[in-house]
Amino acid sequence: MKILGIETSCDETAAAVIENGTKILSNVVASSLELHAKTGGIIPEVAAREQLKSIIPVIETSLKNAKLSTKDVDAIAVTNGPGLIGSLFIGVETAKTLAYSWSKPIVPTNHLFGHIYANWLENPNPPAFPTLALLVSGGHTELVLLHSHDKFEWLGGTRDDAAGECFDKTARLLGLPYPGGPQIQKAAEKAENIDNSLPRPMSDSKDFDFSFSGLKSDVARRVADKTLSQQEVCNLAASIQAAVVDSLLIKTKKAVEKYKVKEVLLAGGVAANKHLQEEAKKRLQVKVYSAPPRLCTDNGAMIGAAAFFQYKPVPWQEIKADSGLFF
């Protein structure tokens, strides 16, 4: 089955064709990142306006790259939430129109499930249930126990900022451009020492929740009214990265032990972080999956994969964008 996956929940406009949930026939991502780098973050109206311009060319390119015509597509999957409502509308309304005019089934797809299913793409040894997902992105930090394709159990999540948001906000405090996560990773590689006194909030709590706003405030206090040298920026970047990764892995390890899972999936943009991947492998002592970086950040391929494994088409009239969609 060949599914056209469409993703427009945040600043990317993406479309991909995926065969049987695992094989990438094409994967096109247009990003308005440069515009957002100028403003230091995403302005929703700017993102939606860019998506409106690029959605049709991106879909056309995804079909062309897959060497397919519309008649070869078996279904259309589209992210219907969570995300920025104006951005979601662009994808959902386009997908509805195509489903109607091409007479294809349409599958509303949860963006968070998409991130999780990125681990099934081009993976000769895909995850096996039960498995634990640590979903870390710009908007989410969630621990989810996956019993089967039909049964996901949410264990806990952030009480305030998401891990990616923490990277983005602290990077900005250090004078690094948006998006902050990759910049923090790059700067951290040049660090000469790490300050382990940065807070790891909620590390001792018995639940599976996280908190990152205290780390951001702590960094803000440390840099206030100071001009940091390049070396100080790199050292602080590594200290921030260490604090975020510690916070994430302390709770993930607790969940691995409690639920006795034999594998963990890293998912979402922050899963591209090398330090997180390396430390997860060292500390969790179970098999750790992470997709290549281009499949960790937002893309249409993960939407095509999720729609295949959770195939629930609806009449095109019934699909609705839902910015607050969750597990």
Please return the burial class of 277, using the count of CB atoms within 10 Å of its CB with bins 0-12, 13-18 and 19+: middle
209 binds Zn ion (CB under 5 A): no
Q: Can you read off the two tokens belonging to residue 245? A: 């990764």
Of 3, 6, 10, 133, the one binding ligand KG4 (CB under 6 A) is 10
Of 54, 141, 170, 185, the one binding ligand KG4 (CB under 6 A) is 185
91 binds ligand KG4 (CB under 6 A): no
Whole-number Å distance between alpha carbons of 120 and 128 = 10
13 contact choice in ligand KG4, Zn ion, none (CB below 5 to 8 Å, kind-dependent): none
Q: By rule CB under 5 A, what string of x and - marks binding of each residue 295-324 to Zn ion?
A: ---x--------------------------
137 binds Zn ion (CB under 5 A): yes
252 binds ligand KG4 (CB under 6 A): no
Of 21, 81, 157, 179, the one binding ligand KG4 (CB under 6 A) is 179
Please return the burial class of 213, using the count of CB atoms within 10 Å of its CB with bins 0-12, 13-18 and 19+: middle
Whole-number Å distance between alpha carbons of 248 and 10 = 23
269 binds ligand KG4 (CB under 6 A): yes
Beta bridge partners of residue 110, listed in sequence order? 81
179 contact choice in ligand KG4, Zn ion, none (CB below 5 to 8 Å, kind-dependent): ligand KG4
Residues 6+ apart with CB under 8 A from 193: 235
170 contact choice in Zn ion, ligand KG4, none (CB below 5 to 8 Å, kind-dependent): none
5 binds ligand KG4 (CB under 6 A): no
Q: Can you read off the two tokens belonging to residue 148? A: 């089967």
Beta strands in the chain (DSSP E): 2-7, 12-19, 23-31, 75-81, 106-110, 131-136, 141-148, 151-157, 263-267, 287-290
Count CA atoms within 13 Å of residue 114 on its CB side.
35
87 vs 131, beta carbon nearer Zn ion = 87
182 binds ligand KG4 (CB under 6 A): yes
27 binds ligand KG4 (CB under 6 A): no
In angstroms, what is the minimal distance from the CB of 136 to Zn ion? 10
Q: Are strands 23-31 and 12-19 parallel, antiparallel or unpaired?
A: antiparallel
Q: Which residues bind ligand KG4 (CB under 6 A)?
A: 10, 137-139, 164, 167-168, 179-182, 185, 268-270, 272-273, 297-298
Q: Which residues bind Zn ion (CB under 5 A)?
A: 137, 298
